[in-house]
């Protein structure tokens, strides 16, 4: 089943309200053998974004959430729940997961979300609406969208996460699923529907699941599996992969159902990112065999110059190369530094390593002139690093004299790719100059994977206008459009109102 969203939002992802209640909302839809479709909503709440009260040694609070699905004036289904907080301060960094499960037949709906902080009686409930349509193919075999899981366990007592004898705790992410090195297991749950309408009752068939490396377009056989099934109306599947050694890259998770003649009767593909630098290595033996005799690198005998040359490689290096460069800089062995420098550029351009270096260093020098500060070379500044890592931005919006804000720049990239990150599209970077009068613009926020993500970036931008005692303190004017304010009305953010951008969280992955 798929949900088609019709208004200006693309999908439920991140909500950062004027009060700074941070809520990630995801969903999935399923079909019951009893003959109806139902809808699951998954809420991940940041407890630090609520008003919390100290009581009995714990910080307590909660968010009251109401969701409704209506057609005209009639409410078709709804749920009201309280996501409560009662945690020690040391546990507040962990998000709180909750779930709603509602019967929802096919058709068009008006969806409404209402959120209220229970410890703030002065706060007006926040309401957000969305038109949507639910469709389901009742005739053709197909998979439900795979639900990636943080964990699962056998059900001991039925609860809102229970399904087919297991408690399933979904992995909630902003936009495209992203699995960092901390994830050593990829678990998923899916359901296969309507096979009985393609095959005879109880006729055997095969379901396979595997990963495909999208950088190379190849199936990865060691990350694959299969099982035999018999034709039914609903077939649940719960499986896991060990991905501890799965390298960084762009992947697709593929599900296929094939009949006994090997014909595909159902297929689904889900794209995800993997970032796993700990699985990469650099061969020291190869480095020791690098011969610099007679090369352009041999004459680089000034330690400070060579140090700077290696240091400026950071933006275009992989995570492993960055760590290795840091080791060379700390070691201070000039011969090893020269060997590594030559090996680095031979790896980038085997036939013309010197030309590749000179082309890059020409850009480094231009960046240095444009972005250097009194204490920092251009390549080490935020703008310089981003420019060298991702290239020239597609569009730049800047403001140096806007009332009530620090000077800032917003960069937009249509396409984003570098040795240390995955391929991404339509990403922004927000740089703020907190030291007015200097040339130091600090990266405050980006929706790119691997970069600083801060939904409070507009609040920090306004600090010149007022001085809160805490970074979490509410700004009464934040969330209110100001006529002529460039950060509220600019080309990159589409001239949207604050509420629109906040609903989308300033972007996604």
Residues 6+ apart with CB under 8 A from 189: 146, 147, 149, 152, 163, 168, 236, 237, 238
Q: Could you tell me the two tokens for 33?
A: 């053998």
Helix, strand, coil percentages for the chain (3-state, nearest 5)? 20, 40, 40
pLDDT at 436: 77
364 and 399 assigned to the same domain: no
**What is the average pLDDT score of the chain?**
82
CATH of the domain at 268: 2.60.40.2550
273 and 289 assigned to the same domain: no
172 and 259 assigned to the same domain: yes
Instruction: Quote the DSSP letter at residue 482.
Output: -
pLDDT at 248 over 80: no
pLDDT at 434: 87
Q: Which of 121, 136, 151 is the last residue of a domain?
A: 136
pLDDT at 25: 85
Q: Which of 107, 136, 165 is the last residue of a domain?
A: 136
4 and 132 assigned to the same domain: yes
Model confidence, pTM: 0.61
CATH of the domain at 10: 2.60.40
Least confident piece of the model among 17-21, 55-59, 100-104, 421-425:
17-21
Q: What is the percentage of the chain residues whose pLDDT exceeds 90?
A: 48
* Of residues 383 and 474, more confidently modeled: 383
pLDDT at 63 over 60: yes
pLDDT at 261: 94
pLDDT tier at 146, thresholds 50, 70, 90: very high
424 and 355 assigned to the same domain: no
pLDDT at 87: 81
40 and 117 assigned to the same domain: yes
376-399 pLDDT, tens per residue?
A: 999 999 999 999 999 999 999 988
pLDDT tier at 507, thresholds 50, 70, 90: very low
Residue 508 lies in a domain: no
Residue 509 lies in a domain: no
Query: Angle, to 10 degrees, between the axis of helix 303-311 and the axis of helix 334-348?
Result: 40
Least confident piece of the model among 82-96, 136-150, 163-177, 321-335:
82-96
Instruction: Quote the DSSP letter at residue 481.
Output: -
pLDDT at 503: 29
353 and 396 assigned to the same domain: no
101 and 188 assigned to the same domain: no
Closest CA to 153 of 143, 141, 166, 144: 166
pLDDT at 92 over 70: no
pLDDT at 234: 94
Ramachandran angles phi, psi of 356, nearest 5°:
-65, -45
3-class SS at 379? helix
pLDDT at 8: 27
pLDDT at 461: 84
**pLDDT, average across residues 208-215:** 89
Residue 5 lies in a domain: yes
155 and 127 assigned to the same domain: no
12 and 125 assigned to the same domain: yes
Range of the domain at 308: 285-375
**pLDDT, average across residues 415-420:** 78
CA distance 28 to 101: 10
**pLDDT, average across residues 200-215:** 92
pLDDT at 253: 95
The total number of structural domains in the chain stands at 4
* Of residues 239 and 56, more confidently modeled: 239
Q: Which of 319, 347, 375 is the last residue of a domain?
A: 375
219 and 183 assigned to the same domain: yes
pLDDT at 3 over 50: no
1 and 132 assigned to the same domain: yes
């Amino acid at each position: 089943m798929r949900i088609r969203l019709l208004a200006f939002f693309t999908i439920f992802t991140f909500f950062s309200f004027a009060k700074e209640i941070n809520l990630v909302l995801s969903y999935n839809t399923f079909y019951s053998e009893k003959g109806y479709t139902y809808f699951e909503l998954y809420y991940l709440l940041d407890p630090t974004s609520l008003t919390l009260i100290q009581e009995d040694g714990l910080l307590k609070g909660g968010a009251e959430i109401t969701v409704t699905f209506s057609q005209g004036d009639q409410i078709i289904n709804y749920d009201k729940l309280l996501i409560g907080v009662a945690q020690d301060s040391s546990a507040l960094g962990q998000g709180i997961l909750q779930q709603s499960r509602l019967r929802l037949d096919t058709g068009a709906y008006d969806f409404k979300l209402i959120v209220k902080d229970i410890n703030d009686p002065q706060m007006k409930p926040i309401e957000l609406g969305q038109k949507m349509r639910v469709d389901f193919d009742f005739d053709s075999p197909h998979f439900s969208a795979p639900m990636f899981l943080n964990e699962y366990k056998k059900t001991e007592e039925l609860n809102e996460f229970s399904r087919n004898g297991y408690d399933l705790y979904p992995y909630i992410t902003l936009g495209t699923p992203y699995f960092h090195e901390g994830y050593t297991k990829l678990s998923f749950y899916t359901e296969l529907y309507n096979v009985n309408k393609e095959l005879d009752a109880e006729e055997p068939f095969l379901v396979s699941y595997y990963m495909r490396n999208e950088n190379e377009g190849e199936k990865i056989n060691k990350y694959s599996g299969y099982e035999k099934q018999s034709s039914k109306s609903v077939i649940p599947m719960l499986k896991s992969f060990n991905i501890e050694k799965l390298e960084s890259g762009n992947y697709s998770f593929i599900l296929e159902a094939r009949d006994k003649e090997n014909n595909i009767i159902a297929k689904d593909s889900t794209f995800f990112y993997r970032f796993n630098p700990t699985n990469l290595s650099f061969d020291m033996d190869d480095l020791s065999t690098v011969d610099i005799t007679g090369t352009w690198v041999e004459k680089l005998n000034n330690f400070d110059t060579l140090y700077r040359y290696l240091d400026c490689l950071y933006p275009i290096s992989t995570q492993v190369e960055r760590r290795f460069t840091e080791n060379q800089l700390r070691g201070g062995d000039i011969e090893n530094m020269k060997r590594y420098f030559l090996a680095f550029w031979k790896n980038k351009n085997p036939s013309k390593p010197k030309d590749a270096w000179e082309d890059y260093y020409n850009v480094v020098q231009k960046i240095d002139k444009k972005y250097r500060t009194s204490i920092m070379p251009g390549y080490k500044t935020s703008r310089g690093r981003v420019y060298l890592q991702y290239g020239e931005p597609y569009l730049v919006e800047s403001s140096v004299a806007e009332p009530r804000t620090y000077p800032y720049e917003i960069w937009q990239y249509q396409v984003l790719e570098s040795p240390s990150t995955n391929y991404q599209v339509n990403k922004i970077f927000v740089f703020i100059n907190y030291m007015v009068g200097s040339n130091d613009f600090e990266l405050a926020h980006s929706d790119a994977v691997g970069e600083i993500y801060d939904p409070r970036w507009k609040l920090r931008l306004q600090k010149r206008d007022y001085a809160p005692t805490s970074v979490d303190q509410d700004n009464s004017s934040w969330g209110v459009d100001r006529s002529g304010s460039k950060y509220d009305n600019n080309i990159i953010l589409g001239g949207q109102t604050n509420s629109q951008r906040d609903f989308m969280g300033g972007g996604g992955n």
